[in-house]
Structure 1
Amino acid sequence: MRFNKLDLNLLVALDALLSENSISRAAEKVHLGQSAMSNALARLREYFDDELLVQVGRKMEPTPRALALKDPVRDVLIRVEAAVLLQPEFDAAQSDREFRLTVSDYTNAVLMPHLLALVHRQSLKVRFQLLPQVTNPQRALENGEVDLMIIPDRFAAKEHPAEQLFEESFCGLVWRESPLAHGELTLERYLNQGHVVMEPPQAKAFETQALAEMGIYRRVEVTTFSFATAPRLVVGTTRIATLHHRLALQAERMLPVVRRELPVRLPPMRQMMQWHKYRTNDPGIAWLRKTLHQAVQAMDQDMHTA
């Protein structure tokens, strides 16, 4: 099919080339041979009268024209994909669809087990690919690389619909034998003690940003890449970790640690689920959203009965 003399099949090749900046990786991504992808690039260069990708040292770099084309081409393909894949209804009992979700390790630890258990109890065949929230997870949503993103509201993309799943509060977590396990945890004690802090790559965690906005800066002695490991890193020390309440409760069940009320009141974290605006009418996404709400109910019931 052609539009203004452009073979529209070439848009798929162009999208892969501009996302990978490599002929070989682009060919692999769309299941083409390398020679076929090279031929597609030659035809694209001829149509746009532009090199599109140029060799710079060992890498290929996009030209200004290619950069201008990248987002519009991706947007067109996401629209087409949403229209083609859209089914009039979604039967979870019959579907083996794979849902791709970006989640933090906090969400993986406290919510995802309840989602998977719920699906398992219903003997459903749907599958899940749980992807890490690397730098700029919104880009993966924008590019149609994930179906749904679970993320605090302050980090959610403004251009796409979002729905609140639950609210989360924060508390301190210390080793059971630590002096901080006893007596009032005053602001002075909190600030004078060493802290274990989770630091995501090239970003700040929700609680770190919230404290900074209050003018409070901790004496950080240990940083980790994982919320879930932070509780273990205070054991045997006098350090303190500022954690999500649900994760701290989970840790208290398994480790010699105790929760402490913080001397400052952090704003609650509103955990959202977000999907691409073109997928709003996707019955599969609607089913997933409903099932996630059910998983939240199971999560909180488990927390309150512990």
Structure 2
Amino acid sequence: MSISVSRFDLNLLLVLDALLTEQSVTKAAKRLFVSQPAVSASLQRLREIFDDQLLVRVGRQMEVTARGKALAAPVHDALVNIQQVLNLRQDFEPATARRTFRISMSDYCAITLLPRLVRRLAREASGIGVVVEPVGPESIRRLESGDLDLCVIPDERRSLGTPMHPEMLLDQPLYEDRFVCVVAADHPLSGSLTLKEYESYPHAKAFFGDTMVTIYDLAYDEAGVASQTQVQVPNFSSLLFQLPATKLIATVPAGVAEMLKSLIGLKSLHPPIELPILKEKLSWHLRYEADPAHRWLREQFVAEAQSMKQGAAPAAP
């Protein structure tokens, strides 16, 4: 039996998408900012419309039925396309616009680039908001599915996986930085590290997940450089706070090291090998290419990145 769009409450698609994603009435209600009974009532209507349970309880968990799994991707894509149509207003004015963008980036970019963008938004587009989440193994998939508007990611994408449809993703170079080794200000090492020194001291490392590897770790591994990892933390900024009063060595982008080393009491050293340049880029899906608000925000990213004096971080002593 076919279902007429004219007789279907499209708001139910929002509920269905939330239910199939969260696999929980309670979580779906929180995601939609509505009451749990309201979601339960919508689920009952959806079950009647599709003649399927969609979600069934198995033990203490809810599981999606085969019909529900078949509906998940088309429903999500339909909502993304509807949102895209609603956003395609040619009279976009930054000063009066009201919109929130979802962006994925590392804490390094959140420290070095994001504050510049936020200040620009405060000056020129106070109604434009950004919700930032950590970059991770799922970022590319979320960009493809429409759950993210933009990603700021390294040009070396091996650690983030390969997109399912690479021809649908567009990129814009932003800025470059280099990697430095960082130690406590009173650390016995100084200047340029030798391989022997690098391998003989304990290390603190940023750990972004089991499936992600930083480009400098790839370089160290390919060069056969060994290290003793004593401390692992989930981002670069917290990594630097582990170094004072220790003999630990960390490798981080120079930009974040220069911003925090005076505050924390650290010094920079030249790495023991030539490390690749960190090249950050902005990525988005083709569906947003013609979106005026999206295009404007991308332009602001590029303008602020250009103002960062690409690759001009002070040299390590």
TM-score, scaled relative to structure 1:
0.87
Does the CA-based 8 Å contact 2:201-2:247 persist in structure 1? yes
- The answer on 1:109 being equivalent to 2:117 is no
Aligned residue identity for 1:163: Q
Partner of 1:234, secondary structure, is: coil
Equivalent residue in structure 1 for 2:79, among 77, 80, 86:
77
Shift of 1:233: 1.7
**Equivalent residue for 2:4?**
2
Does the CA-based 8 Å contact 2:258-2:313 persist in structure 1? no
Q: Distance in 2 between matches of 1:61 and 1:94?
A: 43
Shift of 1:169: 1.6
Aligned residue identity for 1:189: E
More displaced 10-residue stretch of structure 1: 20-29 or 43-52: 43-52
Structure-2 change in CA distance of 1:47 and 1:117 (3 Å) = closer
Does the CA-based 8 Å contact 2:178-2:278 persist in structure 1? yes
**Equivalent residue for 2:190?**
181
Partner of 1:163, secondary structure, is: strand
**Per-residue Cα deviation, 1:152-177 (whole angstroms, up to 9, x for no partner):** 23037434222221122211112222
**Equivalent residue for 2:236?**
227
**Equivalent residue for 2:120?**
118
Q: Distance in 2 between matches of 1:133 and 1:277?
A: 20
Shift of 1:190: 0.9
Equivalent residue in structure 2 for 1:86, among 85, 88, 97:
88
Q: Distance in 2 between matches of 1:300 and 1:39?
A: 56
**Equivalent residue for 2:206?**
198
**Equivalent residue for 1:58?**
60
Structure-2 change in CA distance of 1:64 and 1:252 (3 Å) = same
- The answer on 1:248 being equivalent to 2:257 is yes
Aligned residue identity for 1:180: L
Q: Percent identical across equivalent pairs?
A: 33
**1:1-306 alignment, distance < 5 Å:** 2-3=4-5, 8-122=10-124, 124-153=126-155, 154=157, 155=160, 157=163, 158=166, 159-182=168-191, 184-206=192-214, 207-300=216-309
Structure-2 change in CA distance of 1:122 and 1:13 (3 Å) = closer
Shift of 1:32: 5.0
Shift of 1:151: 1.6
Q: Distance in 1 between matches of 2:22 and 2:253?
A: 37
Aligned residues: 305
Structure-2 change in CA distance of 1:239 and 1:56 (3 Å) = same
**Per-residue Cα deviation, 1:125-145 (whole angstroms, up to 9, x for no partner):** 432222233551234323433
Q: Distance in 2 between matches of 1:73 and 1:123?
A: 32
Q: Distance in 1 between matches of 2:84 and 2:181?
A: 44
Does the CA-based 8 Å contact 1:6-1:47 persist in structure 2? no
Partner of 2:274, secondary structure, is: coil
Unaligned stretches of 5+ residues in structure 1: none
Shift of 1:116: 1.9
Partner of 1:233, secondary structure, is: coil
Q: Distance in 2 between matches of 1:10 and 1:124?
A: 32
Structure-2 change in CA distance of 1:8 and 1:96 (3 Å) = closer
Structure-2 change in CA distance of 1:283 and 1:237 (3 Å) = same
Q: Distance in 2 between matches of 1:174 and 1:2?
A: 66
Structure-2 change in CA distance of 1:43 and 1:234 (3 Å) = same
Q: Distance in 1 between matches of 2:208 and 2:20?
A: 27
